[in-house]
Structure 1
Amino acid sequence: MSEQILLPFQFAFMQKAFLIAAIVSVPTALLSCFLVLKGWALMGDAVSHAVLPGIVLAYILGFPLILGAFAAGMVTALATGYLAENSRVKQDTVMGVVFSGMFGLGIVIYTSISSDVHLDHILFGNMLGVGAGDIWTSLLIAIPVSGALLLKWKDLMLHAFDPAQARASGLPVNLLHYGLLTILSLTIVATMSATGLILAVGLLIAPGAIAFLLTRSFGRMLAVSVVVCMGAMLAGVYASFHIDSAPAPTVVLILTAIFLMAFIRRLNHQRRVSAAAPD
């Protein structure tokens, strides 16, 4: 029994999968808290899909795919932020237009070139096939991103909760706004090799949403989101080995199950409070 339990840790590819899961769980969990608080959950979805044309163009030009992904992510994030701030169109509408346009552009470019390269690992991730370069790239992005979010979490929290108050307090609102968009693009690049573009949105929403249901202060929300995300990532990788499934969707399913349990817990708590309240 003990040999069966420890079996996944004996393979090098599983060790790398556990390592990159632990690395990407920290920045995605921290960032998800700000995205949930600011109402930018769909922004992560939009940017994660819209980096596709950058990846395809980078492949055509012979550049590293990660550079193309970051460039396209920045263009999408900045364009969305600029259009939302300088037009009467609501932000969710702007995100839908920009996201669909960029994703469509990527599909058109990809189908118009002759290539035997498949982008399945970009779209869906390849956690069991990550190499040392992928791990180092994720680590070099995760450390400064996590450091910036932890260093400026109070300023970013005020900006997310009440931008007008943040401006009145003398905070550099524009810098915080576009800085958060830059961090979003970098985080998606860091998770690209692990979870892929499509499933990255799960890591950018679920941990923060779960922590929001379980805590009542933003500081605890950050801590709980990291614990939940890292636990789900490691559990998903471990479970995928025994049930013979892909790690990334297994992780997302675990996060979804945790969210449902947190929601039921919060609902039951509210019912108990309502029942105990005097008429």
Structure 2
Amino acid sequence: MSSDVKIFLMDMKRLYQYGVLTSKNPSKFQGRLTIHFLHYVVEQVLRKKAQDHLFNGPLSEQGFEEIIKKLNRETNILYFDELLKLNIMRNNAQHQNIVATKEDIDVQVKIVESFLRWSYKNYFQCDYDSLNFESFINDEKIRENMLEASKFIDVKDFKSASEKMNVALAIFKTKLFAFFADPKLWNVPIGGFRLTDVLADLTFKIFLSNDPYTLNKLSSTQTSYIDQNGTPAYNVRFTSFQKEEEAREEYDAILNIILTYQDRFAF
């Protein structure tokens, strides 16, 4: 597999993960974004595969249906009929402002993941899970905690995994607040609090107002320190996972938040 193809597959997987994050919010606006993310990655993967096929006219002039039907005649595409429904769903949202229900969108999220796993293997001879995003995390401590959390999930130590991923999120939240804070106001009190903390909290809530899932996730994350035998540590909450799938879903959600928002700030 060439480096260009690998970069392409990484980009598509990351865009899909953005769609997963937006799907966690119930609003119509976020639902529309999810549909477009899902449809975009499916169409781009199909177009990439279709580059070595002949059509009646340039590939750039072929629509989604023409491409997927031609490829399906050669090899049966996983969830072919459901992906055609996704195309209808996208067209309805794009041209008629008709957004599918959250339940239907959630079904498509799972279908598209299955399609990506299938197409990466069958079209590009690539293991979907081999493309990981931890290396894209900018902060070293956040990256280390996420990598340790992933290892703990692999050995089914879910308590330790929960601790590590929540420490990573706590560090990320601390850096967000530091970004929003104004050092000139550190010594200005208001109602028993520092004015800079109050304003940083308000800015934080306004900034994430269109992403209530991430806002609630970060708001419930503790960022206070405790002393463990002379070593400072974050006082984070533990999540009691029963299955590896639950732990991995939580891990992916936190990873999505970090990757989605880290590049918007100067840290």
Q: TM-score, normalised by structure 2?
A: 0.28
Q: Which has the higher contact order (CA 8 A, sep 6+)?
A: 1
More strand by share: 2
Q: TM-score, normalised by structure 1?
A: 0.27
More helix by share: 1
